[in-house]
Amino acid sequence: MIDFVQPWMLLGIVAAAVPLWLHLFGRRRAAVQYFSALDFILATNPKKARALQLREWTLLALRCLVVCALALALARPSLPLPGRAAEVAIGAGPQAVVVVIDDSESMAAASHGGSGFERARRRAVHLLGDLPQGALAAVVTSGYPARSLLRQLTVDRQALLRSLAQAQVRPRRDDAVRALALAQQLLESATEVPSRRLIVLTDLQASGWQAIAAPTLRDRGPALRVFVERIAPDSLENTAIIDAAVDRGADKSGAQVRVEVSIVHHGQKPWRDYVSVRAAEREVKSLVQLQPGEVARRSFMVPASAQWAEIVLPNDALDTDNRRLVRLDAATALRVAIINGAPRPVPRDDEAFFIAQALEMGSGGPGELTVDRIPADKLNAAALADHDVAIAANLAGLSADSEQVLRQFVVAGGGLWVTLGDNLPEPVGDYLATLLPTRLAGLRTAALSGAAGHRSGGVALAAPRPNTPVHTLIGQRSVAAQLTRDLADLAEVLPQVRVIRYALSLPAADLGEKVVLRFGDGAPALLAHHVGAGRVALWTTSIDRDWTDLPLQPAFLPLTQAVVRALAGTRALERKAAVEVGETATLGRDERADQLQVRLEGDSDGANRTRRVLHAALQHAGQWAIADLDTPGRYMATELRGGVALTSRPLLVVAPHSESDLQPAASGPLAAKTFDGTSAATAATLVPKSPVWTAVLVALLGLLVMETALVARGGWSGRAPRWLARWL
């Protein structure tokens, strides 16, 4: 398809009718005088007559072509380059270009004999090589966390090519939002160039790119042109391991443990093959048949003496999700006990229904978190044994023995979350007074207005007190400060929550340090503090729908997950089955340790790569934070003091299963800017063009020379070719 820079100049072709009109109607016509001698000469020499006629029509055609060629040249046409019909072109002239290259896990899928990332990198090298002299450029990678290979736009092509050569595809999820934000920042620094372009080289995998919008520059520089070139894999058929959990209690003898494996198949065709589990020197297989989009779960019994088990699938389009490790040497599930103070026969009316659903749905898969329900009248030390967090949901006044059971559980290191409801006894001042972060002063009910009632303002995040800096709270290992930090992402959705009844807190000097969330009128909503080695949180309204609509709001699931994990403390860190590549792994810290050594075991080259955390700045309160774990596998974390090992713990890193579905985004802002060979309209803006207007100008010059030669010589000295004379 021909592209024109100035298509309105094509209107000049209409001027080609002027020579034709002059030839047919515009010539001055003299009176016709018949000369018999001339008629005789023309009649006896027909070739001469044809030559004169040919000369006249040739001159007319040349003059019409000259006008058309002039209009065509002014329109500046371009033609597609053969063999490169799905690629983005680099324009001519001064410009700023940012190339975003996708290096997430899905780009490891086979594509035309190599991985999609290798093809994308070759395209990026080609695009950078096509840049005109003096053009500014940068490269951004979109795998989590997204990063710019150089800090700013540069004219140094060699520096860009060197950094691009060192980039590798990583088994990480996409961080497309941040990648485009980095590209936007780079391009906004180039307001003086006449052209700015953003080129995205990606497989457009749906989980990472479906809802991503193209950036919009906010300065007064030239408009941004965004191009997306899809690097399609050879096949979209892919089967992946999405979860693995261990049940150590499945065999009463203790000789074996059960491994629960979840497998999903993505694609358009059915899949049938074996899944294997290898532990110690034993291998167990199971035949699996899956339809597209179907999930299968299989159980395997393996020796309990093994520390690790490896789950293996046959190789397919994406190999990185066909292997997964799972720990066998410890129970990994975080255990939560819900003490139900108001059991009801209808599930949605039961006190524990919504919070149990939120914990189970947001646990990340089997083995991450288990929930047990305990009736309030069955509360005892044995019932809470082996649990990490207890949720006291709408309990009535407890006996001294029951309250002592809860206190012993917390002091020993457990977490307790107290939520209120209609069972709250009167007076409220002595309710769990030895455990709660604040003494209760009474209940407040919002003024009613009709059947629906007039509800209080929404919940909002409470910032730490001005005279208590955040770093001081972290240094004191404040659970309130941790929750404030963990819930910061919910600042926009929390105000949507409405409450019609809640408990008031008695004023205290340290109350502000314990408040995490407040209601719209300033009353504390969520408070937290430490009791002994454990943590206690208080939710001053109900956790069901009796006093609030929180269970029906989007904030409910992340809020409950954050509170439970914060209350579990280091137990949540130690029990987490695995962390994804790219995530920051956190481990509980021995107070004696001043150093942490992390070793990746079982490297393919036989060597162990070691990474040391040397500075206390990398520690949070009571925790080690381990970043940049970019290789799936098993690690060993060893705490040291003065170079002497104190404790060693295993750590498991897995690839993200969100990258396993290779289907591209079918819609969305960026999908509309993608050319994959099916959209002619998009091809007009994305297909590389070769300018042909120079050739048109050369042809125009040739036509003018020919027209001048014909007029100057007064005709052809020779005879017209026989075939042309015969045609005339």
Is the pLDDT score of 723 beyond 50?
A: no
**CA pair distance 178, 708, nearest whole angstrom:** 63
Q: Please compute the mean of the pLDDT values over residues 517-529 and round it to a whole number.
A: 87
**CA pair distance 241, 333, nearest whole angstrom:** 19
Question: Which segment of 175-189, 392-406, 531-545, 608-622 scores lowest on mean pLDDT?
Answer: 608-622
Domains detected in the chain: 3-80+693-727 (no CATH), 96-235+662-687 (3.40.50.410), 238-327 (2.60.40.10), 334-573 (3.40.50.880), 582-654 (2.60.40)
Average pLDDT, the chain: 78
Tell me the pairing of strands 389-393 and 334-340. parallel
Q: Please compute the mean of the pLDDT values over residues 51-64 and round it to a whole number.
A: 75
**CA pair distance 534, 412, nearest whole angstrom:** 6
The fraction of the chain above a pLDDT of 70, given in percent, is 76
Instruction: Kindly indicate the confidence band of residue 577, based on its pLDDT and cuts at 50, 70 and 90.
Output: low
Instruction: Kindly indicate the confidence band of residue 46, based on its pLDDT and cuts at 50, 70 and 90.
Output: low
The pLDDT of residue 724 is: 43
Site of tokens 């050594």: 597
Rounded to the nearest 10 degrees, what angle do helices 479-486 and 556-568 cross at? 150
Most confident stretch, 212-221, 523-532, 658-667, 699-708 = 523-532
Instruction: Kindly indicate the confidence band of residue 488, based on its pLDDT and cuts at 50, 70 and 90.
Output: confident
The pLDDT of residue 2 is: 66
**Alpha helix stretches (DSSP H) within 10-132:** 17-21, 36-44, 46-75, 116-129
Token pair listed for 277 = 């589990």
> In DSSP terms, which residues pair with 227 in a beta bridge?
199
Tell me: the pLDDT tens digits for 239-286? 999 888 887 767 777 788 888 899 999 988 999 999 999 998 889 999
488 vs 402, residue with greater confidence = 402
Tell me the pairing of strands 579-580 and 114-115. unpaired
The pLDDT of residue 611 is: 60
Tell me: the pLDDT tens digits for 70-108? 877 777 776 655 444 344 556 667 889 999 999 999 999
The pLDDT of residue 578 is: 75
Is the pLDDT score of 581 beyond 70?
A: yes
Tell me: the pLDDT tens digits for 132-168? 888 999 999 999 889 999 989 999 989 999 999 999 8
Q: Please compute the mean of the pLDDT values over residues 49-57 and round it to a whole number.
A: 70
Instruction: Kindly indicate the confidence band of residue 451, based on its pLDDT and cuts at 50, 70 and 90.
Output: very low
The pLDDT of residue 675 is: 44
Quote the distance between the C-alpha of residue 678 and its chain's center. Answer: 25
Tell me the pairing of strands 224-230 and 674-675. parallel
Instruction: Kindly indicate the confidence band of residue 575, based on its pLDDT and cuts at 50, 70 and 90.
Output: low
Token pair listed for 648 = 């060693």
Q: At residue 278, what are phi and psi to the nearest 5 degrees?
A: -115, 125
Helix, strand, coil shares of the chain, percent, nearest 5, are 30, 30, 40
Is the pLDDT score of 464 beyond 50?
A: no
**CA pair distance 165, 149, nearest whole angstrom:** 11
Q: At residue 712, what are phi and psi to the nearest 5 degrees?
A: -70, -40
**CA pair distance 717, 695, nearest whole angstrom:** 30
* Cα four-point dihedral sign 69, 72, 74, 77: negative
Q: Please compute the mean of the pLDDT values over residues 597-609 and round it to a whole number.
A: 62
46 vs 420, residue with greater confidence = 420
Instruction: Kindly indicate the confidence band of residue 419, based on its pLDDT and cuts at 50, 70 and 90.
Output: very high
Tell me: the pLDDT tens digits for 647-685? 888 888 888 888 888 888 876 677 766 543 333 333 334
**CA pair distance 182, 258, nearest whole angstrom:** 46
Which residue in 361, 401, 398, 360 sits closest to 376, CA to CA? 398
Which residue in 570, 695, 699, 708 sits closest to 639, CA to CA? 570
The pLDDT of residue 391 is: 94
Tell me: the pLDDT tens digits for 182-214? 999 999 988 888 889 999 999 989 888 887 888
> What number of other Cβ atoms are within 10 A of residue 698's Cβ?
12
